[in-house]
Chain A
């Protein structure tokens, strides 16, 4: 008698039914277990697009499976079309997941310390296969996500989907909006270049305006009077840990509420004040398997392809400016675009009111909106006031955003502005991106731009001339001089001067250009 016996029932099955039939049966069993209820035959019929049997076996995974239980068994066919959702909520989830995946890849190569962060970025871009692509995808995805979430909010407002019973869905959405903005904002600092340091500094300086505890809030956010090792570590931990965690939790709550109440139907489909989203007649049902799933797979493919094509053939690249320097504030720094409206408001006056009180009221207003605006009808015709206020807000926000840009109310002097147009401090600009060979050593004058020897030089000098003429009276008799000398092998020194008032006033700035530097690539 052996010490122990292995009992493998499969051997008995093979003995009684033969090898192939047993393997087929076992495979079927494994597949059914993995899909929580669908056997091979059923999956094939789903893929073929056959109508389901009765009772529908395709609802079983929704009841038994973990992943599928998060998704409804069927949707109303009226919410399956592009209108009313424009798939914006779905797309927000797509980007949240997309950012998580690309972000995890980047994390492998990044250390959150001012000593290494910037070099790590350069390393990712120049030494990690597909590293540049991952970084570009992550950055592009982040920009898209902010836009998509904003548009999603706009659409749920326009279709009146925040109204009873979906007030709390909207509320949790508001939390998700803040999380999205802060996720993007916290990520902005991580490359530790001039752009990121100063954009975030401007954003964070609003915290400083908080009445009474401004100083404490500021210290808490930055980990010191200025951004340094502590601030970077804090932003990093927020970005890769705290905010995503909270975002996924709130996504759970948000989507749970969406399912509980059903996707709201297009307003005209319902009686005023009645919500029939949950009562979907048999013939209007569009089942998750296969209709919704295949569509979602399709959209995943399309969006992923689009993003990849944009950062490859489309040549879209995330910027990387020079290393962060807390001593040198670049001319024209701005907050990230989705906070420009705040920067614009700050130009209106009092820092405390426009930087803290007004935005505070606004944000809180978003949260309580569904509890204040309780008109029963979701139809557009009955919501003229609400929709007009929405339209006006969009215009006001666009205007404030414009005001936040350096185009509005610039404070520096015209001579500096002129030079900054040629060698900007927040992006490469025409001199640095010019072809190295075309920067022929010599001295060129803006009034004689046409006689410069190369195309690039003519373009640069024409811009110089154009910029100077913009400030006619402020720079009387001004002329721009560009002087190029060979400085080292492969390195040229470019001196830009603006001379005005018959040569009494001058402003001069030097930049160096290396033949390999590939600015703007």
Chain B
């Protein structure tokens, strides 16, 4: 019996000391665990963003011309955006509630052709509330770059939204002469520039893929037929030229059934000759 007493007392003693140390360290441990869960939330949010938001807000939150505003934007984090819309609550609540409920009406001063959709299942959207929470955490993490004064990350995929001046192709459909294009690069560009949001995922613009178009023809086929059509008002003489015109001078000829001014009219100022050629060489393959 005596050795049991000794061992038992010793075990109690050791355990008490361990628990005491654990308790002393508990506030620090809890803080670390909390940061850990916040980090995991951003990880999950980044994936949700990639799957749902990239097509309008761009891969790195820089926004896409004609589709949706930048949300990695200092105005969101320095309070000026909140002041602009007259939001009295916290930034977190502004972002969380915008994502949850979407923007059924345009906020003052903006004229985005598409609405920000509803995301939370609470309002009939596809994301659970914890997913909205995660993607909110991810969006708000752009604020860290703003706080720490970091302007650009070494991220190749954000290059399209960087502020560097580019050598734009302009709005003439004959000059400059376009270099040979690469259809694979072109396809990637249509995704990152958001063209697919209007032309493939939705029918805001004429469908590019044959299976989505009422005539059963793809844009590659139609562009060749269009120039011979009676109602054609543009100046193009080849299919490639028609595509070039549609992209850089979109309102010279407006496809029947569509309103002018919906498709962004400034691509001539944001695309390089190489970009444009890549896109055209891709579109021409969509028979």
Given known contacts A127-B34, A518-B39, A309 and B15 CB-to-CB distance under 8 angstroms: yes
Is chain B's interface secondary structure helix, strand, loop, or mixed overall?
Answer: helix
Q: Are A298 and B43 in contact (CB under 8 A)?
A: no
CA distance A305 to B18 in the complex (A): 10
Q: Are A125 and B33 in contact (CB under 8 A)?
A: yes
- Residues 30-50 of B contacting A (Cβ, < 8 Å): 30, 32-40, 42-44, 46-47, 50
The one of B23, B36, B46, B131 that contacts A518, using a Cβ cutoff of 8 Å = B36
* Besides the known contacts A323-B131, A488-B145, A490-B39, 8 further A-B residue pairs in the complex with CB atoms under 8 A apart: A115-B129, A125-B33, A298-B4, A301-B8, A301-B12, A312-B18, A486-B154, A514-B40
Q: Does A235 contact B (CB under 8 A)?
A: no
Q: Which residue of chain B has the shortest Cβ distance to A294 in the bound complex? A: B1
Alpha-carbon separation in the docked complex, A294 to B4 (Å): 9
Residues of chain A within 8 A (CB-CB) of B80 are none
Interface centre among B32, B40, B129, B141 (most CB of A within 10 A): B40
A515–B39 touching, CB < 8 Å: yes
Is B172's beta carbon under 8 Å from chain A? no
Q: Which residues of A does B touch, CB under 8 Å?
A: 49, 115, 118-119, 122, 125-127, 129-130, 132-133, 294-295, 297-298, 301-302, 304-305, 308-309, 312-313, 322-323, 325, 441, 485-491, 493, 510-519, 521
Q: Which 9 A-B pairs have the closest CB atoms?
A: A514-B39, A517-B39, A126-B33, A518-B36, A516-B39, A512-B46, A305-B11, A489-B144, A516-B35
Known pairs A493-B46, A519-B40; A485 contacts B142 (CB<8 A): no
A481 to chain B, nearest CB (A): 14
A297 touches B8 (CB 8 A): yes
**Chain A contact residues: over half helix, strand or loop, or mixed?**
mixed
Instruction: Using A132-B29, A295-B4 as known contacts, say yes or no to A513 and B130 having CB atoms under 8 A apart.
Output: no
Rounded to whole angstroms, the CA-CA distance of A129 and B31 in the bound complex is: 11
Q: Which of A132, A301, A521 has the most CB of B within 10 A?
A: A301
Residues of chain A within 8 A of B36, CB atoms compared: 126, 516-518, 521
Q: Which residue of B lies closest to A513 (CB)?
A: B43
Is the CB of B14 closer than 8 A to any CB of chain A? yes
B43 touches A323 (CB 8 A): no
Residues of A with C-beta under 8 A to B30: 126-127, 129
Within 8 Å by CB of A491, from B4, B43, B50, lies B43
Chain A CB within 8 A of B157 CB: yes
Q: Are B26 and A129 in contact (CB under 8 A)?
A: yes
Once the chains bind, are B42 and A514 in contact (CB under 8 Å)?
yes
- Expressed in whole angstroms, the Cα–Cα distance for A489 and B144 within the complex equals 6
- Give A516 to B37 CA distance when docked, in angstroms: 8
Question: Which A residues are in CB contact (< 8 Å) with B23?
Answer: 129-130
Contact B18 A298 (CB under 8 A): no
B155 interface residue (CB < 8 Å to A): yes
Q: Which residues of A contact B155 (CB under 8 A)?
A: 485-487
Is there an interface contact between A487 and B130, defined as CB atoms closer than 8 Å?
no
CB distance from B101 to the nearest CB of A (A): 17
Residues of B contacting A295 with CB < 8 Å? Answer: 4
Residue of B nearest to A121 (CB): B37
In chain B, what residue has the closest Cβ to A516?
A: B39
Q: Inside 8 A of A305's CB, which chain B residues have their CB? A: 11-12, 14-15
Once the chains bind, are A133 and B22 in contact (CB under 8 Å)?
Answer: yes
B-side contacts of A133, CB under 8 Å: 22
Across the interface, do B144 and A517 meet the contact criterion of CB distance under 8 Å?
no
The interface residues of chain B lying within 8 Å CB-to-CB of A49 are 1
Q: Which residues of A contact B43 (CB under 8 A)?
A: 491, 511-514, 517
Whole-angstrom CA separation of A487 from B145 in the bound complex:
11
A312 to B156, CA, bound (A): 44
Asked if residues A485 and B154 are in contact (CB atoms below 8 Å), the reply is yes
Q: Is B19 an interface residue (CB 8 A)?
A: yes
Measured CA separation A132–B130 after assembly (Å): 21
Contact A512 B42 (CB under 8 A): yes
A485:B46 contact, CB within 8 angstroms: no
B144 to chain A, nearest CB (A): 4
Residue B128 interfacial (CB < 8 Å): yes
Smallest CB–CB gap between B167 and chain A, Å?
25
Chain B residues contacting A510 (CB-CB under 8 Å) are 47, 50
A476–B12 CA distance with the chains assembled, in angstroms: 60
Nearest CB of chain A from residue B21's CB, rounded to whole Å: 8
Q: CB distance A323 to B44 under 8 Å? A: yes
Q: Is B259 an interface residue (CB 8 A)?
A: no
Query: CA A485 – CA B159 in complex, angstroms?
Result: 13
A177 to B7, CA, bound (A): 32
| Given contact pairs A305-B15, A323-B44, A490 touches B144 in the complex (Cβ within 8 A) | yes
Minimum C-beta distance from B153 to chain A (A):
5
Q: Which of A126, A127, A130, A518 has the most CB of B within 10 A?
A: A126
Which of A308, A322, A490 touches B44 (beta carbons < 8 Å)? A322
* B28 CB, min distance to chain A CBs, angstroms: 12
- The docked-state distance in angstroms from the alpha carbon of A521 to that of B33 is 9
Q: When the two chains form their complex, are residues B11 and A122 in contact, meaning their CB atoms are under 8 A apart? A: no
The answer to whether B11 touches A126, judged by C-beta atoms less than 8 angstroms apart, is no
How distant is the Cα of A239 from the Cα of B32 in the complex, in angstroms? 31
Given A298-B4, A510-B47, A486:B153 Cβ within 8 A: yes
Q: Provide the residues of chain B in CB contact with A294, threshold 8 Å.
A: 1, 4
List 10 contacting pairs A-B, 8 Å CB cutoff, sorted by A: A125-B33, A298-B8, A302-B8, A304-B15, A305-B12, A323-B131, A489-B144, A491-B43, A511-B47, A512-B43
Q: Kindly provide the distance from the CB of A439 to the nearest chain B CB, expressed in whole angstroms.
A: 13
B85 at the interface (CB under 8 A from A): no
Query: Cβ of B22 and Cβ of A489 under 8 Å apart?
Result: no
Q: How far is the CA of A441 from the CA of B43 in the complex (A)?
A: 17
Judge whether A488 and B153 touch: CB under 8 Å.
yes
Report B-chain residues with C-beta under 8 Å of the C-beta of A490. Answer: 39, 42, 141, 144
CA distance A511 to B155 in the complex (A): 15
